[in-house]
């Protein structure tokens, strides 16, 4: 068993190039926590260390149930760490393979977009929106986490350092061009596409395909599967547009449209059910159609 101060580290929940996140336990308050610890090999890099601590400060500043909250920060054996809420429902990445129903996928996608909008309202871009950075609470809320790549909107209008995950990264972000809220909207479109299909919208195994994507590029449509409304394909295509101006103007607008489509999909389903008729009624209708046709024919001959 490992321990940092009063925090017991029980199991690794996730890890990346710079840090490890543990599922832990606060032995004094007797409550589960998540503890993020900077990797030992980066502990003496001043720029990485500062970026790690900046993430903790950003998370601490936001008071919203859709963003993971930081409760404590410290250093253990010269490695900084910070302590966060433990979110027990896993991540959105756990829900993409195999994909769930269209209704569940849309509900989760709306939650993701609402969480990202909270960051934008606080004047921040996430710049690494992806399924593993979106946590699911027991009540179904999605919480945004991992602000290691976050940047203040006021600082994002110039040339930026490329950061993020290629499968979910907007083309302008990959090029180091100025970014904005619509860059995160692109990432939300990619997450939504994967929730619906079980795969990212584009193959980016060759980074050049992201850097040189044409303006008329569109992801493979999903409506042909019969489970996705056609207008949802239109929304996904616009959110994944190469040009930022062609995307929904905000994460909130993206969420609003998703909700409208989800409501419309339910209405269409109800209408299909209403069109079903009993065999007896079908025979009666057929007789009436035949009689009307015969009468029309007699009238024309006469």
The domain 92-268 having CATH identifier 1.10.510.10: the answer here is: yes
CATH topology of domain 2-85: Phosphorylase Kinase; domain 1 (3.30.200)
pLDDT in tens, 251-301: 999 999 999 999 884 433 333 333 344 445 444 444 444 444 444 433 334
Share of the chain above pLDDT 90, in %: 66
Position 273 scores a pLDDT of 33
Residues designated catalytic? 128
* Rg of the chain (C-alpha set): 25
Strands of the chain, DSSP E: 2-4, 7-15, 19-26, 31-38, 70-76, 79-85, 124-125, 134-136, 142-144, 151-152
Quick one: pLDDT band at residue 168, thresholds 50, 70, 90?
very high
Tell the burial category of 125 from Cβ atoms under 10 Å away from its Cβ (0-12, 13-18, 19+): buried
Position 148 scores a pLDDT of 86
| Domain coordinates in residue numbering, the chain | 2-85, 92-268
Model pTM score: 0.82
The CA distance from 92 to 96, in Å, is 7
* Mean pLDDT score across all residues of the chain: 85
Position 31 scores a pLDDT of 96
């Amino acid at each position: 068993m490992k321990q940092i101060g009063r925090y017991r580290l029980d199991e690794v929940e996730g890890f990346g190039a710079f840090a490890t996140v543990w599922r832990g336990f606060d032995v004094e308050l007797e409550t589960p926590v998540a503890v993020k610890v900077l990797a030992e090999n980066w502990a003496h890099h001043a720029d990485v260390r500062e970026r790690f601590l900046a993430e903790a400060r950003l998370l601490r500043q936001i008071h919203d149930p859709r963003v993971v909250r930081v409760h404590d920060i410290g250093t253990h054996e010269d490695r900084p760490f910070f302590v966060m809420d433990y979110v027990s429902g896993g991540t959105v990445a756990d829900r993409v393979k195999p994909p769930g129903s269209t209704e569940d996928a849309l509900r989760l996608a709306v939650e993701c977009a609402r969480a990202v909008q909270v960051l934008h309202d606080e004047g921040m871009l996430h710049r690494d929106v992806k399924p593993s950075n979106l946590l699911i609470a027991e009540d179904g809320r999605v919480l945004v986490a991992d602000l290691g790549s976050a940047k203040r909107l006021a600082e994002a209008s110039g040339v930026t350092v490329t950061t993020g995950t290629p499968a979910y990264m907007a083309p302008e972000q990959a090029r180091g061009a100025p970014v904005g809220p619509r860059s995160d909207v692109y990432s939300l479109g990619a997450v939504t596409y994967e929730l619906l299909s079980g795969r990212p919208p584009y193959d980016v195994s060759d980074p050049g395909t992201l850097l040189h994507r044409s303006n008329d590029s569109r992801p493979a449509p999903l409506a042909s599967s019969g489970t996705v409304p056609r207008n949802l394909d239109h929304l996904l295509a616009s959110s994944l547009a190469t040009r930022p101006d062609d995307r929904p103007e905000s994460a909130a607008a993206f969420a609003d449209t998703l909700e409208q489509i989800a409501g419309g999909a339910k209405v269409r389903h109800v209408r299909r059910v209403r069109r079903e008729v009993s065999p007896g009624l079908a025979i009666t209708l057929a007789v009436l159609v035949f009689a009307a046709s015969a009468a029309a024919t007699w009238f024309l001959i006469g």
